[in-house]
Amino acid sequence: MDLYQSPSHSKEHTVYLDAIWNQLQEQINPFLRVLCINGSIYRLMDDFGKWYIAKKFMEFTREAVMFCRDGTGQDRHYLGAPRHFIANGGIVHSPDGLEPFWTMDNGSNAHLETTTVCQPLAPSKPAKIPRPPNAYILYRKDRHNIVKAANPGITNNEISQILGRAWNKESREVRQKYKEMSEAIKVALLEKHPDYQYKPRKSSEKRRRTRRIHQTQGISVEVDLAASSATNTMA
C-alpha cells in the first residue's frame, strides 16, 4: 500500500481522527497554547492523522505547531508552536537531513525524543484582532435573528435597512445601552491586547481571495526556531 502519507481521505479515517480531536478539544480554552496527548492515543495516529490534528489545532493557535514527546518520562506528547517548547527551557535540535528532536534543559538530557513537525497552511499570521463592534453593530447583531425569523426569505441587506431605521428611531436609553456595551467591549479588548490598534488597509490591497492552500502532504521536517521564517502573505 502507500508507504508514504498519501492522504487517503477515507471516511473511516477522519471519523476516528475526529473522535480524537473531540477528546483533545476538551482541553481548549482561550489561554491554552499547547495540547497534551496521551502516548497511547498519539501512537494511534499515522502521518496523515498527525497532520489532520495539527491542522485542527492551528485553527486556534494561528501559528505553526509541532508534536513533541514529553521529555520527563511521562508517556505523552504535546502539540504546540515551537516557541512554547523553547520558552520552557527546552532545546530543539535539528540534525541535517533528519527530523528535529526536542529535549528539556532540566538535567535529564538522556532522552532525545524525536518530534514530528507540521507546517501551517497559512504561514503563522500574527493573529489579527477583530475591530471592536460599535453600538449599531451590536444592536443589529442582537436583532438579526429576530428580524430574519419574522421575515422568511429576507436578505441581509434588507435586514440592515430595517434595523438601520429601527436604530435611528430607538430611544436614547436603548441606544445608550448599546453604546456602553460597545465601550465595555473596547475596554476589554484593549485590556487583553494593550498593543491593539486599528489599522485599515487601502482598498487596493484588500483581501485577495482567501488563499486556500490545500497542502496535500503537510508533513515536512522544517522548523527553524532561531530565524522563524516569517513568510509574508501571498506573493
Partner DNA sequence: CGGAATGAAAT
Partner DNA sequence: ATTTCATTCCG
Pick the closer one to DNA by CB: 111 or 131: 131
How many residues lie near DNA (CB under 7 A)?
40
Region of 22-30, 91-99, 102-110, 205-213 interacting with DNA (CB under 7 A): 205-213
Smallest distance, DNA to C-beta of residue 35, A:
26
Q: Are 140 and 147 in contact (CB under 8 A)?
A: no
Position 147 contacts DNA (CB under 7 A):
no
Position 206 contacts DNA (CB under 7 A):
yes
Q: What are phi and psi of 65, to 5 degrees?
A: -125, 160
Pick the closer one to DNA by CB: 101 or 139: 139
Pick the closer one to DNA by CB: 22 or 204: 204
Which residue among 34, 91, 186, 228 contacts DNA (CB under 7 A)? 186
Q: Are 119 and 215 in contact (CB under 8 A)?
A: yes
Region of 23-31, 41-49, 69-77, 203-211 interacting with DNA (CB under 7 A): 203-211
Position 168 contacts DNA (CB under 7 A):
yes
- Closest of 47, 46, 48, 41 to residue 22, by C-alpha: 41
Q: Which three cell numbers stand for residue 183?
A: 465601550
Position 187 contacts DNA (CB under 7 A):
no
Which residue among 62, 76, 144, 177 contacts DNA (CB under 7 A)? 144
Smallest distance, DNA to C-beta of residue 144, A:
5
- Other C-beta atoms lying within 10 Å of the C-beta of residue 234: 10
Position 155 contacts DNA (CB under 7 A):
yes
Pick the closer one to DNA by CB: 87 or 234: 234
Task: By CB under 7 A, name the binding residues for DNA.
Answer: 128, 130-137, 140-141, 144, 155-157, 159-161, 163-165, 167-168, 175, 179, 182, 186, 197-204, 206-210
